């Protein structure tokens, strides 16, 4: 029996989005007895909908609403309508994520203090430290079931053939390589099975061994009777009263009918393109530049991680697909050592693609054809490779704006994403390409292919946290500087990207934010 | 009504649900235009792409028929793959063109332009250029055209997203129903 709340119930928390941020927040609040409505733009999928098929799942679950990518980066040419590779469905990008769960390093919360002003970048310290985050990281690791951590005591997955090749290369060049701490069960835990290594983590885990809010936080929240999830509910705007407090959320259901859900508190968690877009779309005579935008930072500082791919071909088979998607990580260059020619660090995340996606990403775009490409694809079973994941400098002009004339199927202005490399990003990527080649050459690679960045699954920074209201959109709790009962609960609140995959930090922040919201509601401060 | 055409149309619509959906999303991904369905399995006729007297072959022209096959093999050259894997990608494109003048002219004009460029550069038609490198130099000149990109996109799906071919590339495909790889060699490697 699922709970239904009245549209006029103004005592609710309305959460927009059901992924790592929104899904976790809903469950954390529900466990404290706080009632919420979760508005999710996408459908609710069933486990049976999940298939081990790259293109089929891409077509089924991806966010494919119209978007533009502009700017000088190659991605604008190769994928002009697909800046981000994320999910439209209950569970959000936690369906697609590979499960990599790493904590930020201490210096990554204070990049400005660490490196001073970086010319051409808009770098800022977080108003939160690692020390403050540690207990929440611990809770997040327990909740999600992260293997290889003290929090769970679950062992690592074991060394796949793909891992062994990279590990050997790393050993030979003296680089540190470890199995990945994944939020994928290696034991039966929390009602979910142990991983059987299907190798399709990013298509949705068919057996539910990987943590996704789709089948953990969301059903747990619903089971309390305190949470109602409304799938296929696209938010059009967030309403406010004349005092500037938010009062409700206008959304369109699957048939296009509009509803206004009243709210005591609104939490925005629609990922780093949709979240700022919602705030911008909610502009009013009182807030002509959009909600919570007195700083002008809503939609700015868009970060994706500095990425790229490197795939080496060997003489003998590797069968990289017979592995968790990310079996291990080369951590050697994750520290902040300006001596390398760039600030901040990167990880080389061992990662496989299936043959179908390899054919699309090895040399994406119009020129990706011909004998060299075909010969490499013929060596698919002899490949091993990385996805480079490094810190991306916050740059104010990397941003999300609204198209001046073009509207999407909901009548909302189409988002336009501008992304250009900062010089630090370019240097870091080149450093990573070079070290990767060295590593693969050391273990006998016949050929090493460098791949340009793919559409981004890590999207961050467009409603960033800041100590001072002038520098960012939200405070240390993800609460809007300008509007006390408006929160941001996803990766858009990140002040810096770190080198680590964002999900664990999003979940830790959501757990922490739930404590704060509960406290503030109790005190009647919101 | 031409009997041959009716059969071809039926086989196209039967595939539409599955392959059409995937293809649409793939195109979204790669930002292509056009509406060709890609078939993972298609009716393969003897000879070129089609029997010379088939309705589709007549529509597209016998010359274009062979030019397109050569072009397909030059885009993703795998010498050990049989022609049928290329033709089964092109077949539904040409079938669709049989009832759509815009698509028909895209294919027919595209094939013609290949011959024109080939003739200017090498004095022979495209299929008569002996070296692959020279044929590639012809293709490079039309690389950004919708004609080329639509064929390339369909081939990418038809070759690399074709479960029938995955074993030949050493790719395993769907694994969950077989219990994954935890007991099927996930850590097997003998050269490290």
Please indicate whether, in this complex, the C-beta atoms of B170 and A381 are within 8 angstroms of each other. Answer: yes
Q: What is the CA radius of gyration of chain B?
A: 18
B76 and A443: CB-CB below 8 Å? Answer: no
Residue B54 banded pLDDT, cuts 50, 70, 90:
low
B 7-46 → A contacts, CB under 8 A: 21-22, 24-26, 28-31
Tally of residues, chain A: 526
Average pLDDT rounded to a whole number, residues A371-394: 98
Strand, coil or helix: B60: helix
Q: Residue ranges per domain, chain A?
A: 13-522
Which segment of A302-306, A363-367, A402-406, B176-180 scores lowest on mean pLDDT?
A363-367
Q: What is the mean pLDDT of residues B22-40?
A: 38
- Look at residue A185 and tell me whether its pLDDT is greater than 80: yes
Q: Cα angle vertex A458, ends A475, A471, to 5°? A: 25
pLDDT score, position B98: 80
What pLDDT sits at residue A233?
A: 98
pLDDT at B94: 85
**Nearest residue of B to residue A163, measured between CA atoms:** B187
Cα–Cα distance measured from residue A38 to residue A143, given in angstroms and rounded to the nearest whole number: 20
Number of other CB atoms surrounding residue A113 within 10 Å: 11
Q: What is the mean pLDDT of residues A191-197?
A: 98
Question: Looking at chain B, which residue has its C-alpha nearest residue A374?
Answer: B76
Alpha-carbon gap: B15 to the closest alpha carbon of chain A (Å): 15
Which bin fits A84, alpha (ψ -120 to 50), beta or left (φ > 0)? Answer: beta
* B174, B182, B185 ranked by CB distance to A53: nearest: B174
Please judge whether B166 and A58 are an interchain contact, meaning their C-beta atoms are less than 8 angstroms apart. no
pLDDT per residue over A215-270, tens digit each? 999 999 999 999 999 999 999 999 999 999 999 999 999 999 999 999 999 999 99
Question: In sequence order, which residues have a C-beta less than 8 Å from that of residue A212 and are 6 or more positions away?
Answer: A91, A94, A95, A97, A204, A205
The pLDDT assigned to A100 comes to 98
CA A304 to each of CA A307, A357, B97, B149, B152: distance values in angstroms, whole numbers, following the listed order = 8, 20, 41, 28, 29
pLDDT value of residue B97: 85
The domain A13-522 having CATH identifier 3.40.50.150: the answer here is: no
Q: State the nearest Cα–Cα gap between A275 and chain B, in angstroms.
A: 22
Q: For residue A319, which residues of chain B lie inside 8 Å, CB to CB?
A: 170, 172, 185, 188-189
Question: What's the average model confidence in pLDDT over A65-80?
Answer: 94
Whether B51 shows a pLDDT value over 60: the answer reads no
Put simply, the answer to whether B144 touches A381 (Cβ < 8 Å) is no
Alpha-carbon gap: A257 to the closest alpha carbon of chain B (Å): 26
Q: Which tens digits make up the pLDDT trace of A110-143?
A: 999 999 999 999 999 999 999 999 999 999 999 9
- The share of chain A scoring above pLDDT 90, in percent, equals 99
Residue B57 pLDDT class (50, 70, 90 cuts): low
Q: Do B75 and A377 touch (CB under 8 A)?
A: no
- Please count the other Cβ atoms lying within 10 Å of the Cβ belonging to residue A174: 8
Q: Which of A86-100, A280-294, B11-25 is predicted with the least confidence, judged by mean pLDDT? A: B11-25
The model's pTM: 0.93
Question: Per-residue pLDDT for B38 more than 50?
Answer: no
Smallest Cβ–Cβ distance between A161 and the set B144, B166, B189 belongs to B189
* A278 pLDDT higher than 90: yes
Burial of A256 (0-12, 13-18, 19+ CB in 10 A): exposed
Cβ <8 Å between B26 and A79: no
Residue A137: per-residue pLDDT: 98
**Binary contact (B180, A199; C-beta < 8 A):** yes
B167 reaches A (C-beta below 8 A)? no
Please name the member of A59, A80, A317 whose beta carbon is closest to the beta carbon of B25.
A59
Q: For chain B, which residues make up each domain, given as ranges?
A: 3-178
Name the residue among A335, A272, A423, A419 with its Cα closest to residue A111. A335
Q: Please state the ipTM of this predicted complex.
A: 0.95
Average pLDDT, chain A: 97
């Amino acid at each position: 029996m699922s709970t239904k709340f009245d549209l006029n119930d103004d005592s609710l928390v309305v959460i927009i989005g059901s992924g790592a941020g929104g899904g976790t927040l809903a469950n954390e609040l529900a466990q404290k007895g706080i009632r919420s409505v979760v508005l999710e733009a996408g459908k609710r999928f069933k486990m049976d909908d999940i298939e081990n098929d790259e293109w089929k799942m891409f077509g089924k679950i991806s966010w494919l609403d119209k978007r533009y990518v502009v700017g000088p980066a190659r991605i604008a040419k190769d994928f002009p309508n697909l800046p981000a590779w994320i999910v439209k469905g209950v569970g959000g990008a936690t369906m697609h994520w590979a499960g990599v769960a790493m904590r930020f390093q201490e210096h990554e919360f204070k990049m400005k203090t660490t490196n001073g002003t970086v010319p051409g970048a808009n770098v800022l310290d977080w108003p939160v430290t690692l020390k403050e985050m540690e207990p929440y990281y611990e809770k997040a690791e327990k909740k999600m079931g992260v293997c290889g951590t003290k929090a769970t005591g679950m062992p690592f997955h074991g060394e796949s053939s793909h891992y062994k090749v990279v590990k050997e290369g790393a050993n030979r060049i003296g680089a540190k390589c470890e199995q990945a701490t994944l939020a994928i069960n290696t034991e039966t835990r929390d009602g979910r099975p142990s991983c059987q290594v299907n190798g399709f983590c990013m298509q949705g885990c068919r057996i539910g061994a990987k943590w996704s809010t789709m089948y953990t936080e969301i059903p747990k929240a619903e089971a309390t009777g305190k949470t109602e999830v409304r799938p296929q509910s696209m938010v059009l705007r967030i309403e406010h009263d004349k005092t500037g407090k938010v009062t409700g959320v206008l959304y369109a259901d699957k048939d296009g009918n509009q509803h206004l859900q009243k709210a005591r508190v609104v939490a925005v968690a629609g990922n780093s393109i949709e979240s700022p877009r919602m705030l911008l779309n909610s502009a009013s005579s009182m807030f002509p530049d959009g909600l919570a935008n007195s700083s002008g930072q809503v939609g700015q500082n868009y970060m994706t991680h500095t990425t790229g791919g490197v795939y080496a071909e060997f003489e003998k088979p590797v069968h990289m697909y017979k592995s968790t998607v990310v079996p291990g990580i080369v951590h050697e260059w994750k520290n902040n050592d300006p001596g390398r020619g760039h600030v901040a660090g990167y990880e080389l995340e061992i990662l496989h693609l299936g043959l179908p996606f390899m054919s699309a990403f090895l040399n994406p775009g119009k020129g990706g054809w011909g004998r060299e490409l075909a010969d490499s694809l013929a060596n698919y079973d002899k490949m091993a490779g990385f996805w480079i994941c490094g810190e991306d400098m916050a740059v104010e002009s990397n941003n999300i704006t609204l198209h001046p004339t073009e509207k999407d199927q909901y009548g909302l202005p189409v988002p336009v994403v501008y992304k250009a490399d900062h010089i630090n990003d370019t240097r870091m990527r080149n450093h990573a390409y070079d070290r990767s080649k060295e590593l693969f050459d050391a273990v006998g690679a016949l050929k090493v292919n460098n791949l340009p960045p793919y559409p981004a699954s890590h999207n961050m920074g467009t409603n960033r946290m800041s100590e001072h209201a002038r520098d960012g959109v939200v405070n240390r709790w993800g609460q809007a500087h300008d509007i006390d009962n408006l929160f941001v609960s996803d990766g858009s609140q990140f002040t810096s990207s770190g080198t680590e995959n964002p999900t664990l930090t999003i979940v830790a922040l959501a757990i922490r934010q739930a404590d704060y919201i509960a406290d503030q509601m109790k005190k009647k401060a919101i | 009504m031409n009997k041959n055409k009716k059969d071809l149309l039926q086989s196209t619509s039967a595939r539409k649900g599955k392959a059409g959906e995937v293809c649409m999303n793939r195109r979204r991904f790669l930002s292509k235009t056009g509406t060709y369905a890609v078939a993972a399995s298609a009716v393969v006729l003897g000879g070129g792409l089609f029997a010379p007297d088939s309705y589709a072959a007549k529509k597209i022209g016998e010359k274009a028929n062979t030019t397109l096959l050569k072009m397909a093999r030059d885009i993703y050259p795998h010498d050990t793959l049989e022609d049928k894997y290329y033709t089964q990608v092109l077949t539904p494109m040409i079938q669709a063109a049989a009832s759509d003048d815009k698509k028909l002219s895209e294919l027919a004009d595209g094939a013609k332009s290949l011959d024109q460029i080939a003739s200017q550069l090498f004095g022979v038609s495209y299929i008569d250029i002996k070296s692959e490198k020279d044929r590639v130099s012809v293709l490079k000149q039309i690389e950004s055209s919708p004609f080329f990109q639509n064929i390339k996109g369909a081939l990418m799906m038809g070759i690399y997203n074709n479960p029938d071919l995955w074993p030949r590339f050493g790719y395993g495909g769907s694994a969950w129903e077989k219990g994954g790889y935890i007991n099927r060699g996930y850590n097997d490697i003998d050269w490290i």
